[in-house]
Chain A
Amino acid sequence: MKTPFIQFAGVTKAFNGHTVLQGIDLEIYQGEITTIIGKSGGGKSVLLKHIMGLLRPDAGRIVIDGQPLGQLKGRARRRLRRRFSYMFQDSALFDSMTVFENIALPIQERGRMKADEIEARVHARMRELDLGPIDNEYPSQLSGGMKKRVALARALVTDPEVVLFDEPTTGLDPVRKNSVHAMIAEYQQKLGFTAVLISHEIPDVFYFSQRIAMLHEGRIIFTGTPNDLQCLSDPVVHEFIQGFENPNGDSPEPVRQGSWESTFNAEMARMQHHKVSFALVVLTIENLAEILGQEDADAPGVAQRFADRIRAQLRVTDTCSLAGPNMVLLLLPFTNLSQAKMVCAKLGRTLNGQEIAGIQSCQEACMAISAGVAEVQGNGHPERTLAQALERKEIFYQFSVC
């Protein structure tokens, strides 16, 4: 059994009588990226600051690498802290220092390296993070994205064992967000550090996190893999990860007819950043005209209901869009050809044709749905991939209306 590197046991913290953390139990494993998700103001940063020792719990204990944090004093505590690094939400760069001085500060203060070694290390990190010749610029002269990268360089310059990221992509545009996530994932793989990340970037965090923990109302209500999270039926989790609040139990927004190409391109960008493949699935109601010929059939609603029912069966990271009156396209990240076929088979088992067709009475008709699957690797083109999927189209589901 794997031993957790960081362990929270019953950690409670209150500020001015307001309890922020209520008996937190959490385990973080070495060499993994653990992402903590949850609503804003829910105590995620407070949780992270406890790991760093910036805050002390009112009750409960935190054990790091087998050592209870509360009992560590003096040198032992400093030794432990030196294994950690922290990237702040607002970067927390020193305004009065240049970029070079900011990045060099942690290694300079430890006093173990010569000036030329420090310079080489700092410049290496700056090159790796595409920071360019900005050594002598001050943080106030940099854009938000550049500041984040300088903060990341400063966090990584000491080659830490554990890096804590407090919302590293807040305020960045989608391209920069992807690149910061990719940098974290790449460095984590390259240097093998343990990463604890706070992020609201769903579904992006599912691509590179090995473990997800969800904090809700001061408690951890879920810990597990991103896949486990997406399969969870908890309404709180669903509300959060699908990005909407549903206090009245209303249905989610219906699937829209839209530009699936832009979703495809976004997925391509993610795939290239996170080095994962994805699958395109084309689902077609082959005999829609025949179904619409039925008197009881709810003609305009068939394709919409079809898409909505399918989406209800998909993971949060999967996208579903209407591509025509009888066609639905699915983009399934982290999915190869055989896995996509398994998804289709599962859909075939769970779909209810009569409900999709909106037919109340018994009719002599048969709904036939075909599925074409294509796996995207490397440089995929939307039209070419779609053509490829349509070529492989085969009927995967048939149902007799009566």
Chain B
Amino acid sequence: MNTSSYPMMPFTRLGQFAIARLRRMGRYALFFLQSFVRIFSWPLPVARILQQTYFIGMKSVSIICLTAVFTGMVLGLQGYYTLVKFGSEGVLGAAVALSLIREMGPVLTAIMLIGRAGSAMAAELGIMRISEQIDALETMDIDPLRFLVSPKLGAALISMPLLTAIFDVVGIIGGYLTGVLLLGINSGIYFARIQSSVEMADVTGGFVKSLVFAVVIVTVCCFKGFNTHEGSEYGAKGVSVSTTSAVVIASVLVLVTDYILTSLLL
């Protein structure tokens, strides 16, 4: 090897790393676009979307409700003891509702969905990849993206706003439990403040976030599972690594995306 190239090695490596990352991002973008377009390809995969909606949406309702009620209760407690210092405990309803509708509802719903459905998606596709089931689909001339990923994406786009709405409503009820029933704020004031302070833009913003999070969760988790064979580990360990990294990356991306969207929507 020519020794004069030694000083260049760190830069070469950095360049190679950057190119590899960019290439992977490009593949990820194509993965998302192709999966999205295939939701609308004829014949529409309605049955599979409904199946996935049941799995992603319906089966997540109980965990979303549980998370939401405690989140609302904590917001009610914290909010009350902060606001009471300024004699403004009357605006507790508005504080709880705006926190939930604008931020906590979409973000926590997304995080819960990553744990419940995203990890399952990554593991399912990972196992299908290592057991050659995805290859089998290709040999049968069945598009694996259309068959496996598009229904999940379609289902998440339907389920996420609905789950977020459920989270918001149950969270507001949680705030009511602590604020009104436990700490004695007037029930009428609690709801009147919510009505007067929450605007349609807040609700729309929350739903926009939930739609973007749905895309992030499904594409990241499916992409990691779908490409399990390209990782450094093989077999069952490969599946566990891709599932873990899918959950971590999706969670971080949800928070990053939340910041970007909040900046744009405010």
Inter-chain contact B142/A90, CB cutoff 8 Å = no
Closest to B136 in A: A92
Query: Are A105 and B140 closer than 8 Å at their CB atoms?
Result: yes
Q: Is the CB of A106 within 8 A of B142?
A: yes
Judge whether A52 and B139 touch: CB under 8 Å. yes
Task: Answer yes or no: B262 CB below 8 A from chain A CBs.
Answer: no
As a 0/1 sequence over residues 92 to 103 of chain A, the CB contacts with chain B under 8 angstroms (1 = contact) are 111100000000
**CB of B135 within 8 Å of the partner chain:** yes
Closest CB in chain B relative to A149 CB, distance in Å: 16
For chain B, the bracket of interface size reads: 10 to 19
Min Cβ gap B117→A in Å is 15
Interface mask (A35-69 → B, CB under 8 Å = 1, otherwise 0): 00000000000000100111000000000000000
> Residues of B contacting A82 with CB < 8 Å?
141
* Chain A min CB distance to B198 (Å): 42
B128 CB contacts on chain A under 8 angstroms? 94
- B133 interface residue (CB < 8 Å to A): yes
Interface residues of B in 53-76 (CB under 8 A from A): none
Asked whether, in the complex, the Cβ of B135 is within 8 Å of the Cβ of A92, the reply is yes
Shortest beta-carbon distance from B180 to chain A in Å: 46
Alpha-carbon separation in the docked complex, A301 to B128 (Å)? 59
Q: Mark B197-210, 1 if CB is under 8 A from A, else 0.
A: 00000000000000
| Minimum CB–CB distance for B234 against chain A, Å | 13
Interchain CA distance A86-B133 in the complex, whole Å: 12
- The answer to whether A109 touches B132 (Cβ under 8 A) is no
B131 at the A/B interface (Cβ < 8 Å)?
Answer: yes
Contact of A90 among B43, B131, B140, B141 (CB under 8 A): B131
User: How far apart sit A90 and B132, CA to CA, in the bound complex (Å)?
Assistant: 8
Q: Does any Cβ of A come within 8 Å of B233's Cβ?
A: no
Complex-state Cα separation, A158 to B142, whole angstroms: 13
A45 closest partner in B (C-beta): B132
Residues on B with C-beta less than 8 A from A88 are 132, 135-136
Q: Is the CB of B142 within 8 A of A92?
A: no
**Is B138 a contact of A92 with CB atoms below 8 Å?**
no
Q: Are A109 and B138 in contact (CB under 8 A)?
A: no
Chain A hits for B135, CB < 8 A = 49, 54, 88, 92
User: Is A84 among interface residues, defined by CB-CB distance under 8 A?
Assistant: yes
Chain A contributes a number of interface residues (CB within 8 A of B) equal to: 23
A190 within 8 A of B: no
* Separation of A36 and B132 alpha carbons in the complex (Å): 21
* A84 contacts B139, C-beta separation under 8 Å: yes
- Whole-angstrom distance between the Cβ of A355 and the nearest chain B Cβ: 54
Nearest chain B CB to A99's CB is how many angstroms away? 15
A78 within 8 A of B: yes
Q: In whole angstroms, what is the CA distance A92 to B138 when docked?
A: 12
Q: Does A111 contact B (CB under 8 A)?
A: yes
The answer to whether B141 touches A86, judged by C-beta atoms less than 8 angstroms apart, is no
Residues of the B chain whose Cβ atoms lie less than 8 Å from the Cβ of A92: 131-133, 135-136
Contact assessment for A105 and B142 in the assembled complex, using a CB-CB cutoff below 8 Å: yes
Chain B residue with Cβ nearest A86? B139
A346 within 8 Å of B (CB atoms): no
What distance in Å separates the Cβ of B81 from its nearest Cβ neighbour in chain A?
Answer: 49
In the complex, the chain B residue whose C-beta lies closest to that of A107 is B140
Q: Once bound together, how far apart are the Cα atoms of A315 and B147, in whole Å?
A: 50
Q: How far, in whole Å, are A88 and B138 apart by their CA atoms in the complex? A: 12
Q: Judging by beta carbons under 8 Å apart, are B43 and A111 in contact?
A: yes
- When C-beta atoms are compared, the residue in chain B nearest to A81 turns out to be B141
A194 contacts partner chain B, Cβ-Cβ < 8 Å? no
Task: Enumerate chain B residues within 8 angstroms of A81, measured Cβ to Cβ.
Answer: 139, 141
- Any B CB within 8 A of the CB of A223: no
Residues of A within 8 A of B133 (CB): 92-95
Enumerate chain B residues within 8 angstroms of A109, measured Cβ to Cβ: 140-142, 147
A89-133 interface (Cβ within 8 A of B):
89-90, 92-95, 105-106, 109-111
A336 contacts chain B at the CB level, 8 A cutoff: no
A85 within 8 A of B: yes
Contact of B136 among A53, A86, A110, A111 (CB under 8 A): A86
Task: Tell me the smallest distance from the CB of A328 to a CB of chain B, in Å.
Answer: 47
Q: Could you tell me if A54 and B139 are in contact, using CB atoms closer than 8 angstroms?
A: yes
B140 near A106 with CB under 8 A, answer yes
Complex Cα distance A52/B131, Å? 17
Q: A90 to B128, alpha carbons, bound, how many Å?
A: 12
Residues of A contacting B127 in the complex (Cβ-Cβ under 8 angstroms): 95
Cα(A92)–Cα(B140), bound, Å: 12
Residues in chain B near residue A106, CB distance under 8 A: 140-142
Give 8 CB contacts A-B under 8 Å: A52-B138, A54-B138, A84-B139, A86-B139, A88-B132, A92-B136, A109-B141, A158-B140
The 6 closest A-B pairs by CB, nearest first: A86-B139, A92-B136, A92-B132, A106-B140, A109-B142, A81-B141
Q: A53-B138, A95-B131, A106-B141 are in contact. List 12 more A-B contacts (CB 8 A).
A: A49-B135, A81-B141, A85-B139, A86-B139, A89-B132, A90-B131, A92-B133, A94-B133, A94-B136, A105-B142, A109-B142, A111-B43
